[in-house]
């Protein structure tokens, strides 16, 4: 699976899976606004990783959404829903 792209309000979330040894997966995400990173690549999964690539990507996507919703140092534009 290649890098995936999700839209969330005015932000774009870029997620790419990372294959670990033993058929385990992590994923990393970056949050961008107007193609400028507002949060650089961050890895989710930890030492054990996830059993499947889709699960790792879904977890990274959800973490990015949570970061946007709860701040995490990401500025919210005035037009944010």
26-40: pLDDT as tens digits: 999 999 988 889 899
Supply the pLDDT for residue 72: 67
Give buried/exposed letters for 44-75 (b at 16+ CB in 10 A, else e). bbeeebbeebeebbebbbebbbebbeeeeeee
pLDDT of residue 78: 66
**How distant, in Å, are the alpha carbons of 61, 69, 80 from that of 18?**
14, 25, 31
Structure-token pair, residue 24 = 């385990």
Those residues with Cβ within 8 angstroms of residue 77's Cβ, 6 or more apart along the chain or in another chain: 10, 33
Output the pTM of the full model. 0.85
Q: Where are the domains of the chain?
A: 4-69
pLDDT-based confidence at residue 14 (cuts at 50, 70, 90):
very high
* Element spanning 69, H or E: helix 53-69
Q: Is the pLDDT assigned to residue 50 strictly greater than 80?
A: yes
């Amino acid at each position: 699976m290649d890098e995936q792209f999700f839209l969330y309000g005015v932000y774009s979330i870029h997620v790419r899976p990372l294959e670990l040894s033993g058929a385990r997966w992590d994923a990393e995400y970056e949050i961008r606004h107007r193609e400028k990173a507002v949060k650089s690549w961050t890895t989710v999964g930890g030492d054990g990783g996830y059993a499947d690539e889709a699960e790792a990507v879904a977890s990274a996507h959800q973490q990015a959404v949570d970061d946007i919703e709860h701040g995490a140092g990401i500025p919210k534009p005035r037009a944010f829903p």
